[in-house]
Amino acid sequence: MKMKGTIWSYLFKPFRYIAGKESLFVGIGVLLMLSVLGYLTNTNYDGVLDMHYGCETERLPYGVHALFELIAWFSLVAVLYPVAKIFSSSSVRPVDMAGTLAMARFPLVFGALLGLNPGLHTICTKGISLVDEETIASIVQVIEANRSSFLWAGLFSIPLIIWYIVLLYNAYSVSANLKGERGGWSFAMGLIISEILAQILIHLTAGFL
């Protein structure tokens, strides 16, 4: 494991220093940490690019949080690995792709820590079948009462998501040895398909949770 570089390379290009089995071990640790923090802070990672704060009166069991992580990871690898095999002229190792893509989810840890703020868990929309004026007024009232919490969460979440997507791209680019326009549009296409696949899998397993 090589550990020489600037702080920026560690933050955005850690895959230059950690790859192969080492990245897989670290990545599994990241997924485990996210599932635990998601459960403890009521933060739901229900998709490849999704992060939602659950209602304070409705908490999902730990098994669901663990399943969310497995589905997100599987969806990324199941789509981006074959895309890389198609568009890259280099040898693409599944262990590199699986490990680095799991590691890339690390920025979402800070999103879970943000979920320690109880003000972010005040909106409960589950089970609402009719959106009327009274319901909308109630939601607006909650948002007004927790305006600062939602504002800071929004401002903080934007750079986190950007960091996360940059890491996903770098994980894909390094593992597949794909750069430039070819690497960019193939990654974007794969990421969109990964999100769709994750939502389908979550929908299919929802009845068993």
If the chain, 209 residues long, is cut into consecutive pieces of 10 residues, what is the mean pLDDT of each piece?
Answer: 67 85 95 96 93 82 96 98 94 94 96 79 53 49 56 76 96 93 95 97 82
Task: Quote the tokens at residue 190.
Answer: 């794969």
Q: 52: part of which helix (H) or strand (E)?
A: strand 52-53
Question: Is residue 2 one of the residues assigned to a domain?
Answer: no
pLDDT of residue 13: 86
Residue 8 lies in a domain: no
Selection from 172, 196, 208, 170 nearest residue 71 by Cα: 196
Provide the domain limits for residue 74: 17-206
Report if residue 9 sits inside a domain: no
Within a domain: 149: yes
Is 25 a member of any domain? yes
Assigned domain for 133 exists: yes
Total number of domains in the chain: 1
Q: What is the pTM of this model?
A: 0.84
